[in-house]
Structure 1
Amino acid sequence: MQPGVAWIIGGGSGIGAAVTKKLAAEGWTVAISGRREDKLAAVAGGNPKIRPYPLDVTDKDAVEAMVHRVASELGRIDLFLFGAAAWQPMDAGNYGFDEFLKTVDTNYLGVLRIAQPMIEQMRKQGGGHFAVIASVAGYFGLPRSAAYSSTKAGLINLLETMRTELAPDNIKVRMVAPGFVKSELTDKNDFPMPFLMETDDAAKRIVDGLTKSDRFEIAFPKRMVWLMKTIRFLPYPIFFSLMKNLLPK
């Protein structure tokens, strides 16, 4: 994929900010969105290749209007990446509605609010790449991560469907599944994080995966991906026996 116009939701910090800077360095014009205008401005840093567009993905009308604004001002959207995420460790056995609402509203419904207007824009321009950052945490249900894991599992399922249905429109749907990456979200974790990656390393893998291949799944690090996928296919008695060990003592 040659450099063009990219739009990154969640570009004000963490992986999104690192991906933004790498794409801009490779010649892309990058629109970045998020709720915190100061963070967006800091990432842009006066670079004419990076354009801040403040946005709250839980506001449906604002999302639809922003799709039209970005496409109108930048001409088209060749690569879209949704990386906004809400995450909070939860107590085991807590399924309170309010605790789930913020995570579901941002992680899953945020994608759905932007999907249709973005797809219509890509159809109008003859195609594009529609990518979403899910997580290896979506491969199966993790203790103390009920809200986060379930939204990421839902995204993986949704993107698999979209990949098939949108291929005739020349829209390539991509699913990014990182392991643990240093960020504001993982700073909240109070448990060991195996194979923890530096943010810039994760960004390089994402950018290379998106621009140098058309594959659906961009998942890393490989050791963690294969571990999680192996656990997913274990017989349930063995699976639940392993999960018990992840509960707090």
Structure 2
Amino acid sequence: MDYTYELPSEDDFLRTLKEYIDHKNHPEIVEILKQCNMQFSTTSTFTNKAWDTYWCSIIFYIPVSSLSKISDDIPSTIKKYCSDILPQNCGYFIEQVNFAPQLNKNSTEEPELEVVFEQQKQKIIHELTQARFIIWVAVAWFTLDDIYELLVQKSEAGLDVRIVISKDEINKSASEKYSTKLNIKGYPKFGAYNDNFMHNKFCVIDLKKVIHGSYNWSKRAEYNKETIEIIDDRKTAERFSEEFKKLYIEAN
């Protein structure tokens, strides 16, 4: 079969999915999907389903108030029906279906921006200490024990702490040391020569604040000339959060 390697329009796919699930007599799932928008997330990982096909995932964004309605069986049920209607010639198979909080897009406040050229680690620790609900970290190289220990404390206090780092020797020692205490995913090298890196350096806090810049969370970066920005803005946090979710799923 000749594959197109093109996925359907997300709006058209969601519309068809709701009609199909309604036809299958799942009105409770249809009501949930009516509140959602969705996003495909492709990977470069081959499936074992058919030659030259790849895995993809689907993220459904739902209001926070409705997350409690997502029972354990709903993602697997939706995955089955998504697989039924996905075009056979697209070259993708659905690996997983996830639900994520739908961020508030109605904020009109001007973003607050702070640029830091010195003592970046101290500033990062300060911001992480203030976190109350969520800390999502996507940093190429992360070897700073004091920040890891702080994240362990935050995780033990009930916060949703997730970390994506590059899967290489620089990170190996620290990631193995903290893998039993923290949710750490190693993003593998990729590309035609398998030498491209997940090179991001950002952190999302409580879905409203972002730390990003040139500064890796590494011992070596403390001796470099580096920059971080702290942006307090929900729209910016939404964009970084969506990118984090893609990286997290692909790292799985």
What TM-score does the superposition give when structure 1 sets the normalisation length?
0.32
Asked which structure has the greater CA Rg, the reply is 2
Kindly indicate which of the two structures has a greater share of residues assigned to strand.
2
Structure with greater helix percent: 1
